[in-house]
A = this chain, B = another copy of it.
Amino acid sequence: MTRERSIPEAALPRLALYLRVLGELTENGAERVSSDELASATGVNSAKLRKDLSYIGSNGTRGVGYEIAPLVHALEGTLGLTQNRSVALVGIGNLGHALVGYSGFAERGFRISALFDVDPDLVGIPIGGIVVEHTRRIPEVCPERGVTIGVVATPGQAAQGACDLLVDAGVRCILNFAPVVLQVPSEVDVRKVDLAVELQILSFHASQHGPGTLPRVVNR
Contact with A217, one of B101, B143, B172 (Cβ below 8 angstroms): B143
Instruction: Tell me the residues in window 155-207 of chain A with beta carbons closer than 8 Å to chain B beta carbons.
Output: 170, 172-175, 179, 181, 187, 189, 191, 193-207
B residues in contact with A78, CB < 8 Å: 204
Identify which of A11-19, A46-54, A129-137 touches chain B: A11-19
Indicate if A83 sits at the interface (CB-CB under 8 A).
yes
* Number of this chain's copies in the complex: 2
Q: Which residue of B lies closest to A106 (CB)?
A: B196
Question: For the complex, what is the distance from the CA of A194 to the CA of B15, rounded to whole Å?
Answer: 13
| Interface size band for A | 35 or more
Q: Is the CB of B172 within 8 A of A213?
A: yes
Q: Is the CB of A202 within 8 A of B191?
A: yes
Contact with A202, one of B104, B149, B181, B209 (Cβ below 8 angstroms): B149
Q: Is the CB of B201 within 8 A of A13?
A: yes
The digit string for A94-106, where 1 denotes a CB below 8 A from any CB of B, is 1101110110110
B residues in contact with A87, CB < 8 Å: 199
Whole-angstrom distance between the Cβ of A108 and the nearest chain B Cβ? 5
Q: Is the CB of B98 within 8 A of A203?
A: no
The digit string for A80-100, where 1 denotes a CB below 8 A from any CB of B, is 110101010000011101110
Q: Is the CB of A173 within 8 A of B202?
A: yes
Question: For the complex, what is the distance from the CA of A97 to the CA of B97, rounded to whole Å?
Answer: 10
